[in-house]
Chain A
């Protein structure tokens, strides 16, 4: 018996329908699954980034607290003792008759006075609240002044634009970054001048710290294992990222080092 035309039509339509059913099921499943996977991947990445931020934030807070405590301890303890020492020397200076000894005591007195001044300056540099109270520029100037007083370095700070506040949180982080960069210059560069320029552009904040020291191979050092290289440079990178900024280090052997940090600024009320 030959199959009738109706059966042929029926067979073809059933076949086509089944084929469509199967392929659409597979395609829809694969598409949905892929989308879900990607959405989840995004979520995980966001969570990891948030977690990183949290860790950095905590690190910064702990570090700040430690520095602050250290600063207060210096101020309250050593500062007090030095003050007592100076008083004693003053009394001594008055009671001693001998001219030579008196001169020596006066000299010691001056050294103690200098030490007291240094300790006070150091206290301020350690204390993050100083940045809060006096602002970023003043704190930085103070830091550079402290270095200039050693008479081994020439320092300079220039600002351009109208200064605005970046918020205490950001400013303290920036201040710590600047401190690390300056410390590196003192520690490794054998530089003689330090130049800091701060630019307040309407939508951009930038700070550049430049030394005229011996320079180094930045890429090479960043490629080193963590155990071999210091934590300083890595930390300034991550901290700059934490406050939404970018940090660029440029260094050439014998030509000094320039570190530049840029942050976008969103003026309030815009």
Chain B
């Protein structure tokens, strides 16, 4: 396991514990409950993934066929509580089954779960959706004239981090397959800057947001 992966996992676990402590501190607030599940599920998946990577030489990418849809559902439920417009809430709810249908069909017929092809279709529909979710939240936040300071809102930092991460990952994943056949070295560099570093940034921003939280 590479050094960068250790950092990533530690940040994720740190973030998870912060969400747990905020969950306890703020009387089991809905936001922290969802964040707790989201991050806990992330820790769980990554630990399994790294463990399998170390013990067997098999490609363990199939995990993400489960991870990505569940992650999307959790993000959707996270934002459901924050959207103001009912139309947006409804659209968000409808996006869940629609995304799931695409995800399942894609996993079963297009890519094949056991082929072990990592990060397949999920990035094509999933990532843009995960960018749109926080983007719409920020749009509503901008139009909300009652907010004096947005930096004390955990969701501001979480949204910026999420948007940043998924937009870069979407770019990287769309060129990854072609890249890896062209230039292995370049792929590694880009993977580091467009996936690993944004991942750090995202979890750091989650931590900032949760710790900065003022009521």
Q: Which residues of A contact B (CB under 8 A)?
A: 1, 3-4, 7, 10-11, 14-15, 18, 21-22, 25-26, 29-30, 32-33, 36-37, 40
CB <8 Å contact, A18 and B185 = no
Query: Does B142 touch A at the CB level, under 8 Å?
Result: yes
- How many residue pairs link A and B with beta carbons under 8 A? The number is 46
Interface size, B (range): 20 to 34
| Set of chain B residues within 8 Å of A15, measured between Cβ atoms | 193, 197
CB <8 Å contact, A7 and B150 = no
| Set of chain B residues within 8 Å of A7, measured between Cβ atoms | 185-186, 189
Query: Does B96 touch A at the CB level, under 8 Å?
Result: no
7 contacts between A and B (CB under 8 A): A10-B186, A10-B189, A25-B160, A29-B142, A32-B142, A36-B145, A37-B145
Give chain A nearest CB distance to B207 CB in angstroms: 15
Q: What is the CA–CA distance of A26 and B208 in the complex, to the nearest angstrom?
A: 14
| Set of chain A residues within 8 Å of B168, measured between Cβ atoms | 18
Identify 15 new A-B residue pairs, CB closer than 8 A, beyond the known A18-B168, A18-B198, A22-B164: A4-B185, A11-B192, A14-B190, A14-B194, A15-B193, A18-B193, A21-B164, A22-B160, A25-B160, A25-B164, A26-B160, A33-B141, A33-B150, A36-B142, A40-B145
Q: What is the CA–CA distance of A77 and B186 in the complex, to the nearest angstrom?
A: 103
Q: Which one, A11, A18, A26, contacts B189 given CB within 8 A?
A: A11
CB <8 Å contact, B138 and A29 = yes
Query: Does B147 touch A at the CB level, under 8 Å?
Result: yes
Q: What is the CA–CA distance of A1 and B164 in the complex, to the nearest angstrom?
A: 31
CB <8 Å contact, B185 and A3 = yes
Q: What is the CA–CA distance of A30 and B147 in the complex, to the nearest angstrom?
A: 11
